[in-house]
Every structure is written in C-alpha cells, then in structure tokens.
Structure 1
Amino acid sequence: MSQSKNETVVLVLALLLTLGLVGAGIWWFSQLSQGNRGGTTTSNDRSLSERISVGEKSLLSGANAAKQQGIEAISKGDYAQAIRSLQTSLQSQKNDPEALIYLNNARIGTGKSYTIAASLPIGSDPNGALEILRGIAQAQDKVASAGGINGVKLKIAIANDDNNPQVAEQVAAALVKDPTILGVVGPYASDVTLAAGSVYNSGQLVAISPISTSVKLSGFSPYIFRTVPSDYVAARALANYMTSNLQKTHAAVFFNSQSGYSQSLKSEFVTAVSLGGGQVEAEFDLSDPGFSAARSVKQASDRGADILMLATNTGELDKALQVVQVNNKRLQILAGDDVYAPKTLEVGGGAAVGMIVAVPWHIDANSNSEFVRQSRQLWIGDVNWRTALAYDATVALIAAIQRSPTRTGVQQALRSPEFTAPGAAGNIRFLPSGDRNAPVQLVQIVPGKRSGTGYDFVPLR
C-alpha cells in the first residue's frame, strides 16, 4: 500500500473516532439537559429548599456549637433537645435573632400555629438581614409571651432572597405555594419588592416591606404594603430643610441610575426642590464607569450648587462617600436613608460632620417607648430604623391574623380604614395605596462616642 493510501486510511479512522466522541458527547449533554428540564424536583427546587428554613438549617454563617446542635435537633424532630441547645446558644450570643426565632419555633413543635415568612437579603447583606430579623424576632417573642394570637403560637419561616429580583421571585413563588404562610415581611430593596410583588399579587399573599421606599410601589398591588414612608415623604422633608432651614436654593444630586430606589428618591427630590422655589443645577450618576468624585464636586460648585444631595443606594455608597471626603464640609450635604450606615461614620469621619440624613425612625427620638425598652433588654444594645420598621411589619401581620387568620382575611384587615396597631414608630395605619401614613426623622452626623467610630447620627429637634 502506498504512503498516500496509508495516510487516507488514518484520516478516515480519525474522522470516524471524532464523530463517535462528538455523538457521545451530544447524547450525554442532551440527557443531562432533559434531566434538568423534566419536572419540578430539579436542582433549582433543591436550591430553593436550601433558602427557606423554620429551624432545620441556619441561613446565617457563624453558628456556635450549641446553635448547630439545636438546628440538628429540630431537623430530627427532637424539640426538647432543640429548646435546650438554643437556650444555651442565646446565653452566649444574646443578639442572635435567628436563634431566638428557631427557639420559639421549637417551642411550638408540632402544635398548632400560624406562620408568616421573612424574605431577606441574607446572601448579599447579612448585617441588613440581621437588623430586620431582630425586629421580627422581637415581635414573635412578644406574642409568644402573651400566649399567642388568640391562643395560637406564631411560627416564622426565614427565606434568603439575596436581595436579587429573580431569586426573590422564585422565593415568592415557593411561599405562595405553601398554604400555611399567611403573610410575608419583606423584601428589602424596592427593585426586589417590585419584582416579587407581582408574584405575591397573583398568588394573593400579603407582603409588607419594612425597607422599600420607591414611589412605584404606591398603589402597585392590593397585596403589597410597607411600614416605611415613601421617597415622596423623605424627599420633601429634605427639600424643605434645604430651602426653609438652610435658606439654600441650588443643589446637585448624586444617584445610581441602575437602582429603582435611587432614581425614585432623586426624582422626588428634584420635584420637591422645584416646588420650594429652588433648582437642581446638576445630576451625577454614580454608576457611570467614568464617574469621578473630585471632578463631579468641582462641576457642582462651578454650576452654583450650594447643596449636595446623596440619593445613593447601598450598592454605590462607597462612591457617595468619596464625594463626602472630596467635599470635606465645603458644601452642605443631604442624604437618603441608605446613607444611614456605620460605614458612613467610619469612612466619612470628620468630613461627614454636619450631614443631614432622612430616616424613618431614630432611637433617640423614641427613647421612652416600650419597643426601645424591650429591644435593649432583648438585644443588649440599640437598634436602628430597619429593626423598628420590621417589628412594625410583623406587628401589622399579627394584628391582621388576630382579626382573621386566612390569607384573604389578612389582606382585608390591612386594607380596612379602621385597621390600626401600636408599633415602634407610632400607630400603624395604611393608606389605600398600601403606603404608611407617617413622617420621617431628620438626623445629623456629629462627633460622639456611642457608635464607636467617633461620630454619631443624632436627631434634629
């Protein structure tokens, strides 16, 4: 056989081998894909089951040995052991709301209960999730001490939605599918609540957000409520302080065009300033890849701005704090509630002194309330507005369940003009839009020792 024929045979054999391997690969991939598509017991469902817990798993990191033993006991149905272990855990970690919720759930065991869920940003903002959980846990603990809701104990299911719209939709679908869930506290960000809210609306399950402030949520759904005032209220409070108290009329706004909350607060502030006789001279998008704090502050000053307004969301807080540092107290700064964070005090430091921030609630303005007294006893420290308004959202659901312990009954109770419940931030009432009719509190950054950073947020009187 000639060399050319030998080469031809080799090439043919190689081609056949390649085709065989490719065919096997295609068959394997198609089988895998069919397995992933075929039915409801997929990896996605397993992932969802890992995101929701009433005590059989910890969704937060850092569980101590006693807490882990308690969780394992719950998963085995050994509630007596779970109670002992979780009580031991709380003796060493008193401010752990997940452990307290699981303890109260374990005390219910297999007994009759009403269940509500919390949809939280555990994966993306564990500190924010803990702040919210403390309010929910405090409300559950209070109703447990009172003997339940008309004698029936309250169980809490905790869900991690990562503060992600797509994940929150999946979590919402799972909660809607569970007939024992009578209401939801959450979600967190406005964009996430808008996404998940469509699912809650179609599933006719009430969700009360303690955090979402976007004006797009006003009247969004008869099943979506919130215990936090909308951006309309916060923007007008800041704009009024600017024009009336500071006697300033020219502002520059820093915002994130990729955040519904940030866009909402920015738009409401621009409108409010205009109505008050002022003008916004410049707008700067913090999400712009070419954003420069130094250049933006200079441009704002060159255009005549005498106020800098930080309408940022948490995701762009670092860039907003660059603005604070570059400005270094030259121009007065106003800000929305996402700027109310320990990082602002730590990073902003002396450059942030004098900044005015609009928040829904502040502990120093409510220091004599029952909620504050109980929270300090329970968590061995002060709580912030996120905890207070999560408490209020839970209290609202408890009051609605007390009236009528069905999904329909809860929704009708909350929408009733006569509905009211005593909360941390005053009486809880909802407008027909689902909004809470409540003011905001303006706070100022001053030198202080309470936070441990050398600076504190204190209420403006």
Structure 2
Amino acid sequence: MSQKNETTTLVLALLITVGVVGGGLWVLANWLGMDLRGLVTGTPGEVSQPGGEVLISRGDRWLIPGTTSPQKQAAAEAIAAGNYAEAIAPLESALQASRNDPEALIYLNNARIGTQQAYSIAVVVPSSTQINAAKELLRGVAQAQENINRAGGINGVPLRVAIADDRNTPEMAQQVARSLVRDSEILGVVGHFSSPAMLAAAPIYQQGQLVVISPTSTSVRLSAVGNYIFRTVPSDRFAANALARHALSQLRVQRVGVFFNSASDYSQSLKDEFTTALFADGGQVVAEFDFASPTFNPGNAVESAIAQGAQAIMLAPDSPMVDRALQVVAVNRRRLPILAGDSIYTANTLQVGGDNAVGMVLSVPWHILGNQSAPFPREANQLWGGEVNWRTAMAYDATQAFVAGLQSNPSRAGIQQALSANNFNATGAAEAIRFQPSGDRAAAVQLVTIQPGTRTPYGFEFVPLRP
C-alpha cells in the first residue's frame, strides 16, 4: 500500500471512529438525561473555562444525580423547548411520587411562571458532590419561592430560581460566579455551601456588584470581602465564643484538645476563633491534632490529648473530615466531653456516633425545637413530610432576604442598598433577619446536644441546650 493510500485510509478510519464515538456519547447522554450543549446560562453552546462545564438550570436539566425519571426528563425537554405549560403535569406527577424533592418544586414554580415577567435569583449548591447538603439548601429556597409565588409574588411579580452546581470546589465556584454575574436576569445569589468555595467566588460577586447571601459559609474572612457579600449564618466567631463559654462555665474545664483540618479555611477559622475565645477567658488549648496529617491516628491522638492534660475535646472538621471526627468520638468512648462545630450536625453523627456521641455539644445557627411557635417548622413539615435542619432554615432566610430586597428595589444595586440599610428587616425561619455593616447576620447561635430519643430512626437525636 502506498503512503498516500495509507494516509487516506487512516483519515477515513479516524472520521468513522469520531462519528461512532460521538454518536455513542449522544445516545449515552440522552439515556442518562445529560445535556451536551455547554453552559446553560441563557446562551446555549457557550464554552466554560478549563475545569469543567458550568451547570446552571432553570428546569431544562436535572442537576442532582440519581433522581431522574421519565416524568422529569419529559419536563426538562419541554422547558428546554420553551413549552412551559407541558412541563407542569409531569413535574406535579414527579412531586406526587417524591414530595420532598426540592429541585422538582423549584422547576415546577418556574414552569408555572412560563414566559411572564419574573424576578430571578440563583442558588449555588454542591449538587454533584454533596447531595444531601444540596437538597437541604434547595428545600429552603424552594419553600420560600413556593410561599411568595402562591401569595401573588413580589409586588405582583413571581420569583424564578436558577440552580447552579459548583461541585464544592473553589475553581468551579469562581466559574459559576462569573457566569451568574454575566447573566443580567440574575438579581441575586444564594450560596455557596463551603467557606473555601464562597471565599473563592466572593470577590467576583463583589467586583460584578451582584449580591450573594451564603446560608452556610462561616469563615470570619468573609466579613472583609465587600459590601455585596452577606450571610444568614453567624460567623465562626459567634460559634467559637459560645462553645468556649460552655466549656468554661458549664463543663468547668479549662484545658482543651482541638481537632481540625489545616487544609480547610472553615476548620482553621473555627479552631483559631475557639482558641482565642478560650484563652481570653482563662482557658487554653493544650494540644492540636490535624485531620489532614498523613500520620493522623484517632486513637493515638485521643490518648495524646489525655496525656497532655486535656479535660475536653473540640472537633472542628469540615464536611470531608466528619468521618475522621466520628472516629475520634468512637475511640474517646465518652471519657472526655466533646464540643463541635456545625459541620458535624448530620444524620451520620447520630447513626455512627450512637451512644459514644451522647452528651456532645454542638453550635448551630438554628434548631427546629428552638422556636416552636414560629410558622416555618410547621410549614416545612407539611411541605416536605418531615423535619428540616439548620441548612434548610438558613437557605430559607437568605431567600426571604432577597424577597424583601426585591420588594424595596428590584435591581442588583437596589437589593444591596436595601440589605445594607440600618432598618432592613425580613421575616426568617425563627427570628427577624438583620445584617451587620460587615454583611454578617446579627443573630445568636444555638447550642444543641445529642441524647437518646425517638425523633430519628437511629435512637438518638439533637436537642437544644436550655440556658
């Protein structure tokens, strides 16, 4: 065979291979309910920056994996084609099958709006990496959207919600932030989930003059980013102060061993603030143990803490290190009292920690039993068919803050001015929503403890500590 013929044959083979692979990918994508069009930000086909596709949906795709169904796929296709009325029935059917699906409820409300005028906000969640946390946040936003739209909207204008996935990474959080800043329809953003993601994205929102309200990012560094950055969750300083006071005044201990993740801004922030607060009132951190260390051993660490005179343990894991924190709980066997940050407030803590976790004290922004007279817990139970946690409540509060801002002045700059005003006041899950000049929430934290109980399937539950 001549070199020319060999070249022609190779080219033809390459083209055939590309066609087969491309066709196979298209078939696979349709089977999985995926969308290969690129960025979904109102500009189909836009290409994202290196690091992966930016996933933003108003209902034309499903972002939480493992939840698709024929009804959901039909709804997504109808919305993508602009046939909003055709999406309503399959979305209602999907919700009848799974009433606690917040993504479906958000897209249903969007479909009911259709092409009529609406105010749009976005919520950024780690839907592909932290599925439970993403659902918890989306339930708060969905409940607020459902309430305001059923009540006739914001001065007669309904609220549309876009959902974005930042994969809980700083790089993707920045890409999502850039896309949302460019989208002129988006008037505000609820998010991001983690402090590292939020700290990476915040300067982009600040420069783009787009208000972002985080329901879960607690790092104290966020307070200094700028006047377009807010949060409905109290900063680590409030949580650390409450835990330190409890150690000194209630547990009557002064020497504490701290476990943290040096690679996490949230974990480092909570550890530093706790150390400062404890020292200011006469206590001290006698030992520090890094979850991220390649030589970390929970059993050795607990024994070392005891040997160094620790009278209590403070756990400050970020979400990826909760399992290691629970190993500490297990090997401690209730020998030392344990304090912890809000990241360890999970069902897994009750299930895995079990009897070893009884008596542990956590600092959280909200608890469903903390203010039982408020309407939010009852409405949440009716809507979702069960209790919700603090992440849902704080996401609800962030959306409520945007609703109040939109009522005052429905523009990006107008929302910022409304939220920054001294007299700003919005109704939250348990109490009024007010912000300090730094953008931090002006609110106290709630200390909870773990006790045996029947409110969960695990035989243990979180209950508020009474003053």
Q: Structure 2 length normalisation: TM-score? A: 0.89
Q: Measure, in 2, the Cα distance between the counterparts of 1:179 and 1:224.
A: 18
Matches within 5 A, 1:249-398: 249-398=254-403
Match of 1:131 among 136, 139, 144: 136
Work out whether residues 118 and 186 of structure 1, in 8 Å CA contact, stay in contact via their aligned partners in 2: yes
Match of 1:58 among 54, 59, 62: 62
Matched, 1:151 2:179: no
**1:373-429 deviations in whole A, cap 9, x for unaligned?**
111110000000000000000000110011001101011111111111010031000
Q: Measure, in 1, the Cα distance between the counterparts of 2:111 and 2:45.
A: 28
Match of 1:69 among 69, 74, 77: 74
> Following TM superposition, by how much is the alpha carbon of 1:349 offset from its aligned partner in structure 2, in angstroms?
1.1
Change (3 A) 1:49 1:317: closer
RMSD of the TM alignment (CA)?
Answer: 2.1
> Following TM superposition, by how much is the alpha carbon of 1:60 offset from its aligned partner in structure 2, in angstroms?
1.2
Q: Measure, in 2, the Cα distance between the counterparts of 1:48 and 1:205.
A: 23
Query: What secondary structure is seen at the aligned counterpart in 2 of 1:115?
Result: strand
Work out whether residues 49 and 175 of structure 2, in 8 Å CA contact, stay in contact via their aligned partners in 1: no
Match of 1:26 in 2: none
Q: How many residues were matched structurally?
A: 429
Work out whether residues 362 and 384 of structure 1, in 8 Å CA contact, stay in contact via their aligned partners in 2: yes
Q: Measure, in 2, the Cα distance between the counterparts of 1:209 and 1:167.
A: 16
Match of 2:100 in 1: 95
Match of 1:212 in 2: 217
Work out whether residues 51 and 172 of structure 2, in 8 Å CA contact, stay in contact via their aligned partners in 1: no
Q: Which amino acid aligns with 1:51?
A: L
Percent identical residues: 54
> Following TM superposition, by how much is the alpha carbon of 1:50 offset from its aligned partner in structure 2, in angstroms?
5.6
> Following TM superposition, by how much is the alpha carbon of 1:453 offset from its aligned partner in structure 2, in angstroms?
1.1
Matched, 1:412 2:410: no
Change (3 A) 1:231 1:346: same
Which moved further from structure 2: 168-177 or 60-69? 60-69
Q: Measure, in 2, the Cα distance between the counterparts of 1:43 and 1:228.
A: 34
- Specify every segment of 5 or more residues in structure 1 that has no aligned partner in the other structure, as ranges: 1-13, 22-39
Runs of 4+ with >6 A deviation: 45-49
**1:306-364 deviations in whole A, cap 9, x for unaligned?**
10000111111111111100000000000000010111111111111110011000001
Q: Measure, in 2, the Cα distance between the counterparts of 1:48 and 1:400.
A: 33
Match of 2:39 in 1: none
Q: Measure, in 1, the Cα distance between the counterparts of 2:68 and 2:465.
A: 39
> Following TM superposition, by how much is the alpha carbon of 1:42 offset from its aligned partner in structure 2, in angstroms?
6.4
Matches within 5 A, 1:172-211: 172-211=177-216
Q: Measure, in 2, the Cα distance between the counterparts of 1:87 and 1:50.
A: 28
> Following TM superposition, by how much is the alpha carbon of 1:65 offset from its aligned partner in structure 2, in angstroms?
2.2
Work out whether residues 426 and 433 of structure 2, in 8 Å CA contact, stay in contact via their aligned partners in 1: yes
Q: Which amino acid aligns with 2:274?
A: F
Q: Measure, in 1, the Cα distance between the counterparts of 2:192 and 2:281.
A: 33
Query: What secondary structure is seen at the aligned counterpart in 1 of 2:399?
Result: helix
Q: Measure, in 2, the Cα distance between the counterparts of 1:388 and 1:349.
A: 25
Q: Which amino acid aligns with 1:222?
A: N
Work out whether residues 47 and 53 of structure 2, in 8 Å CA contact, stay in contact via their aligned partners in 1: no
Matched, 1:229 2:210: no
Matched, 1:44 2:20: no
Q: Measure, in 2, the Cα distance between the counterparts of 1:50 and 1:336.
A: 31
Q: Which amino acid aligns with 1:211?
A: T
> Following TM superposition, by how much is the alpha carbon of 1:221 offset from its aligned partner in structure 2, in angstroms?
1.1
Who wins on radius of gyration, i.e. which is larger? 1
Work out whether residues 193 and 216 of structure 2, in 8 Å CA contact, stay in contact via their aligned partners in 1: yes
> Following TM superposition, by how much is the alpha carbon of 1:214 offset from its aligned partner in structure 2, in angstroms?
0.5
Work out whether residues 135 and 387 of structure 1, in 8 Å CA contact, stay in contact via their aligned partners in 2: yes
Q: Measure, in 2, the Cα distance between the counterparts of 1:47 and 1:326.
A: 39
Match of 2:457 in 1: 452
Match of 2:125 among 120, 131, 138: 120
Q: Which amino acid aligns with 1:442?
A: L
Change (3 A) 1:442 1:167: same
Work out whether residues 389 and 425 of structure 1, in 8 Å CA contact, stay in contact via their aligned partners in 2: no
Q: Which amino acid aligns with 2:232?
A: T
**1:222-279 deviations in whole A, cap 9, x for unaligned?**
1110000010000010000000011111100000000000000000000111111111
> Following TM superposition, by how much is the alpha carbon of 1:368 offset from its aligned partner in structure 2, in angstroms?
2.5
Q: Measure, in 1, the Cα distance between the counterparts of 2:204 and 2:274.
A: 30
Query: What secondary structure is seen at the aligned counterpart in 2 of 1:218?
Result: helix
Work out whether residues 48 and 170 of structure 1, in 8 Å CA contact, stay in contact via their aligned partners in 2: no
Match of 2:146 in 1: 141
Match of 1:3 in 2: none
> Following TM superposition, by how much is the alpha carbon of 1:46 offset from its aligned partner in structure 2, in angstroms?
11
